[in-house]
Amino acid sequence: MKTIEIKELVKRYKELLALDHFNLEVREGEILGFLGPNGCGKTTAINCMLGLLTYDKGDIRIFGEAMVPNAYHIKKNIGLVPQELAYFEQLTVYENIDFFCGLYIKDKQRRKNLVEEAISFVGMEDYRKFFPNKLSGGLKRRLNIACGIAHRPKLIFLDEPTVAVDAQSRNFILEGIKRLNKEGSTIVYTTHYLDEADQLCDRIVIMDKGHNVVDGTPEELKSMIATKEIIHLELVEGASDAIIKKMESLPHLQLLDKNKSAYTLQFTQKGSNIVALAQLLNQHGLAYLKLYSEQPSLSDVFLSFTGNPQCLYQPDCGRILPLLAI
């Protein structure tokens, strides 16, 4: 079953074509990584999916039904965890979660139970009476998540949930997302930390310039690019032009990039590339500090399809409208 189905979506801001016949499918029960460089239309697409923006052309269906601004019976089954911290500074942790849960759940006893479950889920039992300004950055992110998922939505949008948090909080959040998915939630996950998407997502869609450019599992995407092996080399002293030419003549070499005495070599086939390079260095008496091989990462895939390296780890400059606007 398709939780989200978008066909030929077009959205214009005067002269700017933000979404150019954009198509997307999100299957029930999966974690979809929704990636793209800044300004690609990702935030606009999400706001359209949430019914927060009108669009010029196309069709959006959530849970098999047309998504329109007043489709509250659909929206009550959607959770949004925005990149911006969306809670009230004047309310305690408990009061914040209770307020946002109360937007969807009117029965007081059921809401109380769900609030307690959300507090337990994000590990904030000891902080229920704290005000947000007394929390660390990681705990603020956890509170943000609790406010978005307390009503037990079937579909959850998570926008950069780990931005600017420490490693421990980041790991806690990622494990929590896996738990949400195992408990039945379909998740649309946006991030610029591509290692997270590789680790977490069942399937990934990369969009650029208003339309999706590639779609597949992390392994499928890696297999689509020409580079199959990357070798990193750091010499004690830089190589001469003659040696560099010999490196460039190595079989299956696609690209050689030099930065002072450090070299990155990309090959179109796996195999004995590192052995051949080591033999070349030994033949010419070149000592090296580092020499190691790695497989292409999701970052390499991203750059191959978008060509936009500065977007890999920077928080999206776009903004998703606050939960209260739903």
Same domain for 132 and 32? yes
What are the C-alpha distances in Å from 160 to residues 83, 141, 258? 5, 10, 33
Same domain for 15 and 149? yes
Instruction: Give Cβ neighbours of residue 89 (< 8 Å, ≥ 6 apart).
Output: 131, 132, 133
In angstroms, the CA 90 to CA 93 distance is 10
- Tell me if 302 is assigned to some domain: no
In angstroms, the CA 2 to CA 65 distance is 11
Same domain for 230 and 216? no
The whole-number pLDDT of residue 164 equals: 85
- Tell me if 301 is assigned to some domain: no
The whole-number pLDDT of residue 161 equals: 94
What's the domain count of the chain? 2
The whole-number pLDDT of residue 267 equals: 96
- Tell me if 303 is assigned to some domain: no
Same domain for 280 and 178? no
Per the CB < 8 A criterion, the answer to whether 32 and 187 are in contact is yes
- Tell me if 98 is assigned to some domain: yes
- Tell me if 139 is assigned to some domain: yes
pTM over 0.85: yes
Task: List per-block mean pLDDT (blocks of 10 residues) for the chain, which spans 326 residues.
Answer: 96 95 97 94 95 96 95 95 95 98 96 97 96 96 96 96 89 94 97 94 96 95 93 94 96 94 94 95 96 94 76 36 37
Same domain for 177 and 62? yes
Same domain for 43 and 182? yes
Same domain for 170 and 289? no
- Tell me if 8 is assigned to some domain: yes
Same domain for 87 and 37? yes
- Tell me if 275 is assigned to some domain: yes
Long-range contacts of 292-295 (CB under 8 A, 24+ apart): 292/231, 292/232, 293/229, 293/230, 293/231, 293/232, 294/229, 294/230, 294/232, 295/222, 295/228, 295/229, 295/230
In angstroms, the CA 72 to CA 65 distance is 12
- Tell me if 270 is assigned to some domain: yes
Same domain for 269 and 207? no
In angstroms, the CA 203 to CA 31 distance is 7
Same domain for 19 and 97? yes
254, 289, 281: which is closest to 270 by C-alpha?
A: 254
The whole-number pLDDT of residue 61 equals: 98
In angstroms, the CA 222 to CA 297 distance is 7
| End-to-end Cα spacing for the chain | 24
In angstroms, the CA 96 to CA 154 distance is 21
In angstroms, the CA 287 to CA 229 distance is 22
In angstroms, the CA 214 to CA 221 distance is 8
Per the CB < 8 A criterion, the answer to whether 64 and 77 are in contact is no
For residue 236, give the CATH number of its domain: 3.30.70.2470
Same domain for 170 and 192? yes
Give the structural domain span for 255: 226-295
The whole-number pLDDT of residue 308 equals: 55
Same domain for 231 and 268? yes
For residue 321, give the CATH number of its domain: 3.40.50.300
